[in-house]
Amino acid sequence: MDVDLSRLEPVLDHYDKGDGSALIHALQDLQATYRYLPAEGVKAISEHLQVPLARAYAAATFYKAFSLEPQGRTLIQVCKGTACHVRGAQLLEDELCRALDIEVGGTTKDQDYTVKTVNCVGACAMAPLVIIGEKYHGKAKATRLTKLVTEAQQVSKGGSDDEA
């Protein structure tokens, strides 16, 4: 995948040269800009902040919020913590992957969706939980997932965001 490097400059300009303490923030900006951490961007940040490339990659791989692979416009996260697991998280994951025709961790061909699993996010009372984009969907049911995903797509393409 070609990376539009012109979008990298504003990220770098935001941080002082040699300011290694800004590594995580710079990686967050990079992730927000590209929806993942392109190798060219990680290298440029490492050079700009004068942080060893190995340290930049250590941070990039340590935090689950970062991805080294391109991600879809909408991230769908299925909680696989214990409470969600015992309340049917596997069924939700299976249904999502079947409906979108991808494996967990994968991205749809049109780059619209990426499905990932996460550990407990601290909302066990809502189990089983699916997070679509920024929105938490508690007591999620496999039969409603397709509708929720379609709604999320409409929101990301400029539609209404009224309903949970």
The residues that touch ligand FES, with contacts defined as CB under 6 A, are 79, 81-84, 120-121, 123-124, 127, 129
* Shortest reach from residue 137's CB to ligand FES, in Å: 12
Nearer Cβ to ligand FES (115/127): 127
- Residue 97 vs 121, nearer CB to ligand FES: 121
85: left (phi over 0), alpha (psi -120 to 50) or beta: alpha
Joined tokens for residue 111: 């780059």
Tell me how many degrees the CA angle 96-102-103 measures, rounded to the nearest 5. Answer: 90
- Minimum distance of ligand FES from residue 77's CB (angstroms): 10
Measured from the CB atom, the residue of 37 and 115 that comes closer to ligand FES is 115
Closest approach, Cβ 117 to ligand FES, in A, equals 10
Rounded Cα gap, residues 24 and 26, in angstroms: 5
12: left (phi over 0), alpha (psi -120 to 50) or beta: alpha
Compute the least distance from the CB of residue 80 to ligand FES, in Å: 7
Burial (0-12, 13-18, 19+ Cβ within 10 Å), 164: exposed
Looking at the Cβ atoms of 49 and 140, the one nearer to ligand FES is 140
Ranked by CB distance to ligand FES, the top (closest) residue is 81
